[in-house]
Structure 1
Amino acid sequence: MASTHFHNGTIWRGAGVDTADALLVHDGVVAAVGSADVDRHLAALDTASDSDDTLDQVDLDGGFLMPSFGDGHAHPIFGGLEAEGPQVRTCSSVDEIVAEVRRFAQAHPEIEWITGASYAGSLVDGGLFDSRWLDEAVADRPVVLRAWDYHTVWCNSRALELAGITAETPEPELGEIPRRGDGSPLGTLREWGAVDLVDAVRPPLDEAVRLRALERAADYYLERGVTWVQDAWVEPADIETYIAASTLGRLTLRFNLALYADPRHFSAQLPAMVEARRRVEEHGDPLLSAHTVKFFADGVVENETGSLLEPYCSSLHNHGLRVWEGETLAEAVRAVDAAGFQVHIHAIGDAAVRQALDAIESAIAANGPRDRRPVIAHAQLVDSADLSRFAEIGVIANMQPLWAQLDDLMTVLTVPRLGESRASNQYRMRSILELGGRLSFGSDWPCTSGTPVEGLAIGTSRQNDAGEPAGGWTPEEIVDIDRALDTYSTAVAYQAFADTCPVVWGEIRPGASADLIRFDHDPRHLSPQELAVTAVRTTYLGGVAVHSSI
């Protein structure tokens, strides 16, 4: 039995909750909060007959202790796999990407398929990359690179050839093959209907590689103070990887799996989802759950596949991609909800958000009241008429605060497609909160950084790395630091049903699991630029230090 006494610092317990000056953790759970209560418990420990009990003293030295972060929407296996291929994420030009792919190919002649992620789509006009550019690096082996959005891939000619993608290939369902003037495929594939053509001929990854990627992702998160992650795109092979990692004792933080629902195969998927959930529950690892189903309602604005109420600026008739046609999304959501799953819907455009809200509302009407905590992820563009519906229906808006800035992605790809007026209505975080809705934060890593403090710096300033614009972009949507910290911690725990677990987590109160993070400085008193680079000193899971920068 071990106890840890935290003192001489600020114990932050959530927005609107008084801070404390001391905390006692006993056997992995919070035993006492505040110096008076802690002193009473310490006195009781001194007089207890259990001589095996130990007490560690942690002097915060004026620092800050809070509930650990959660990531309400991410793709950890994808993130961990990026280190297995050419390192293109930091490349700032096509020439740099080609050079890195060439270097990697020469260093790894044994690799049959060269795969990597993730390049910046804003490097080329319209995000359209040519296969012939990659042919300059590697012509005799297939090369497949994912874009930052993970909705797009860039292939060399050999990959297109092996996938059978030619000028005669019809446009796939739920996908797009951009073409040259003669009808031949350019080399960019958009959305999974097109990407699946390549994935169908790629050999599966060795399980050892996938396990290594998951461990790498866990290390990444623990270093950043994250102890729970919503894996928001889980396919059958991923379930096996998570269960294998658990069996081998290689899970080091909490994961919930959101099982991917594909409109092309959904009728056959639901029984398999129920079985996957049963297997995970039967496995009995408190760090692993699978109670969520993930839907895509649309794509992304940068590809013009985000589903919009009004057309894109580039076309009078292009409203983007509607993944589930007609009433099919509502029907599938009702079925998943009736099976007791939490619903998690990717919805970027305002039409997709409305479709998602309608589908969730129909499930509530059909299946009756219960604690369901449905999630709409991203909610990049929400029509004003739909803002209040998040509170009315009880839907959690899981947003990515890092995206609410005028970076290259926004200025080069997003704003030109939406237009200035519509673009100014993106990421309406504060509006949803002030209308009584629930907001949680996520990163969508590896699409963008999984470092919570970077997202917090943007969400509380709406400024980019250069501190621009003065006063923030769309400053009326700035979230104050206390609510932002809450949204990246206790609000994500609510999304995760943490308060219903046998040992509650995500809060600092007696009886809760001691899932905590320590900073050397109070993040509430840092400038956005300072906050973005402040490091987590220690991450605790169940009272155990699972990461320390000391």
Structure 2
Amino acid sequence: MSRRSVLRAGAAMTAATALAPGFFATDVSAEESKAKAAIDGPADFVFHNGPVYTVATAAAWADAVAVRGNTIVHVGDAAGALAMAGPKTQVIDLKGRLLMPGFVEGHTHPFLGAFLTSGLDLQLANLDEVLAAIKTYAKENPTGPIRGFGWRVDMFPPEGPNRAELDAILPDRPAFFFAIDGHSLWVNSKALEMAGVTRDTPDPIPRFSYYARDQKGDPTGYVLEVNAVLSLVNAVEPISGDAMGKLLEGWLPKAAAAGITTVFDAGVPPIGSDQGAMFALYVDADKRGVLPFRVSAGYTVKSPPIDKAVETLTDIRKRIGSELVKVDTVKIIGDGSQAGYTAWVIEPYADMPDSTGGSPFTEEQWHQLISSVDAAGFDVHVHACGERTTRVALDSIEKAIAANPARDRRHTIAHLVYVEDSDALRFPKLGVIAEFSANWSSADPDTLENMVARYGQPRASRMYRTRSVLKAGGRVSFGTDWPAAGYFSTYEPLKSIQVGVTRQLIGLKDAPVLSPADERLTVEEAIHANTMGAAYQLRMDKEIGSIEVGKRADLIVLDQNILKIDPHEIHKTKVDLGMMNGTIRHKA
């Protein structure tokens, strides 16, 4: 080809890409692809000989992909991709395996998960097994504090666990164990002593974050919600930056192996009073080249005062960030969980009719906080397990929209265990993203027993209504909320996707289906929620979430096509290869 022909072909390619969103190289001949490579250089990677699920509106399927640097430069036919290969190009034969976008986790807690799951795993069948496991672990680890994670609320009566059960095993060593929902703590007398918690100790947030007490007023060893929980943890085993950095780095390869290429960190434990110190650990990992995913992080407001939220977030943003790490959202802990009666509900709990739970904030504080964050141009991400929290958050967002200038808003409300019909319709109306922890939506023992007891009918048969939001025209994103869960804890999006599709406990094809059964998603819908849906939430939908020319090369190779197999088998799928930003981060 003459130089003029080469330039003409390159100009045509550039014009097509600029003028046609969702443009695919399927429309370009192999000769034109070769001409493009002659101008810009050959591709660094070519993927071919397997189905490519793009999650793109314009063309959901393709035959091959080429990557140059950190950017996707060809999506379409194999001839066009291979024509961009040069002597140093890594040509990857998919051998029939599925190529798709990397998973975008719309709500998870890498630091908390790495910390909480580094102790004793208490995701066991019953209390006897839990106590036996603690006793064995104590013998095998004879010195220092003992911590663990994963006991289930249905192992105990409504008043929760008691320190006496731990004191019988651990009379002299401090011990604390997180519930699987991450909202409460079970501690022994030694831990209470170290924290200085007695009958005279005031609760951090009365009736919301508190130390459960017996009839005499003495603490029972059941500690609820983050303020009270942190007071115990920091007294027994203070969270240090070095320790958290090492724990995180140990988990990062597992995240890459799960196909995760982007996360929204929905809340970090502070080092001292500075959440920014934790975010800086992500930046350090990025600088050292070991961070396998992008990070969008939320500065957490867990209780009053609220007047410094925008100022603090702005300060953190100025101090901390990198190409892959940004702190750009205000996370609001709007309530607790149904398990501890701290989720804020509209009608009283069926098994505690004098309680509707609570929130750390008054309604006026809700309105002030969200209005100020919105006015500053930031998005809020609200933890809302209870339906009243969802309603008040929507009310506050609606007021902010009316009061503040028009802009592209990406406010998100997360978890949404139960939402009233009238409020579900407000998500599309207000442009609010509904973020679901799909792995919670199984008919597991906790849901069928504990949640049914808390809610009663008909509410108990109308939980996690993801499809209803989609049918109303709303946007949905997925995140595992790792390590928090109702019955089983996971950071793996593939498991979350399977539960979103089946609404059944993993591993049992004939397991009960969580009602309403018609809230089950298609595999395509569930994948979208964990890719483009979450990417939109994080304002990254122009860069990631689908396989399109011009987007970042965040790609994963699965050993089986999850869109073709029995959905009950999705959790068995392995991620054979993971690429983030054009660099291979995982290879099986």
TM-score by length of 1: 0.91
Please report how far the alpha carbon of residue 345 of structure 1 lies from its aligned counterpart in structure 2 after TM superposition: 0.3
- 1:69 is aligned to 103
Is 1:331 the counterpart of 2:368 in the alignment?
A: yes
Matches within 5 A, 1:390-401: 390-401=427-438
CA contact (8 A) 1:347 1:379 kept: yes
Is 1:201 the counterpart of 2:242 in the alignment?
A: no
Matches within 5 A, 1:315-354: 315-354=352-391
**Counterpart residue type for residue 201 of structure 2:** T
- 1:279 is aligned to 319
**Counterpart residue type for residue 301 of structure 2:** A
d(CA) in 1 for partners of 2:490 and 2:85? 43
Please report how far the alpha carbon of residue 421 of structure 1 lies from its aligned counterpart in structure 2 after TM superposition: 1.0
1:354-396 CA-partner distances (Å, limit 9, x unpaired): 0111111222222221122111011111110111111011111
1:319-339 CA-partner distances (Å, limit 9, x unpaired): 111221121011011112223
Is 1:222 the counterpart of 2:256 in the alignment?
A: yes
d(CA) in 2 for partners of 1:326 and 1:363? 14
**1:67/1:178 CA distance change after superposition, 3 Å:** same
Please report how far the alpha carbon of residue 197 of structure 1 lies from its aligned counterpart in structure 2 after TM superposition: 3.5
Is 1:238 the counterpart of 2:278 in the alignment?
A: yes
d(CA) in 1 for partners of 2:84 and 2:477? 39
d(CA) in 1 for partners of 2:532 and 2:342? 33
Matches within 5 A, 1:75-154: 75-85=109-119, 87-111=120-144, 113-126=145-158, 128-154=160-186
RMSD across aligned C-alpha pairs, in angstroms?
2.1
CA contact (8 A) 1:80 1:212 kept: no
Runs of 4+, deviation exceeding 6 Å: none
- Give the one of 46, 50, 69 matched to 1:9: 50
d(CA) in 2 for partners of 1:160 and 1:77? 24
Identity %: 32
CA contact (8 A) 2:302 2:360 kept: no
SS at match of 2:50: strand
**1:439/1:127 CA distance change after superposition, 3 Å:** farther
- 1:495 is aligned to 537
1:442-490 CA-partner distances (Å, limit 9, x unpaired): 1010112111111111111222232345666311211111111111111
1:201-242 CA-partner distances (Å, limit 9, x unpaired): 345233332112211332221111111111101332423433
Is 1:263 the counterpart of 2:303 in the alignment?
A: yes
SS at match of 2:502: coil
- 2:564 is aligned to 525
Is 1:155 the counterpart of 2:187 in the alignment?
A: yes
1:253-298 CA-partner distances (Å, limit 9, x unpaired): 11111111133233344422211111124xxx21111001100111
d(CA) in 2 for partners of 1:243 and 1:542? 16
- Give the one of 83, 89, 98 matched to 1:55: 89
Is 1:175 the counterpart of 2:216 in the alignment?
A: no
CA contact (8 A) 2:413 2:435 kept: yes
- 1:507 is aligned to 546
**1:70/1:256 CA distance change after superposition, 3 Å:** same
d(CA) in 1 for partners of 2:99 and 2:80? 21
CA contact (8 A) 1:114 1:141 kept: yes
- 2:496 is aligned to 455
Please report how far the alpha carbon of residue 108 of structure 1 lies from its aligned counterpart in structure 2 after TM superposition: 4.0
**Counterpart residue type for residue 518 of structure 1:** V
**1:207/1:196 CA distance change after superposition, 3 Å:** closer
**1:244/1:99 CA distance change after superposition, 3 Å:** farther
Unaligned runs of 5+ in 2: 1-41
Unaligned runs of 5+ in 1: 47-52
d(CA) in 2 for partners of 1:545 and 1:244? 19
Please report how far the alpha carbon of residue 348 of structure 1 lies from its aligned counterpart in structure 2 after TM superposition: 1.0
- 1:49 is aligned to none
d(CA) in 2 for partners of 1:327 and 1:103? 50
**1:106/1:20 CA distance change after superposition, 3 Å:** same
d(CA) in 2 for partners of 1:175 and 1:43? 62
Length, aligned pairs only: 533
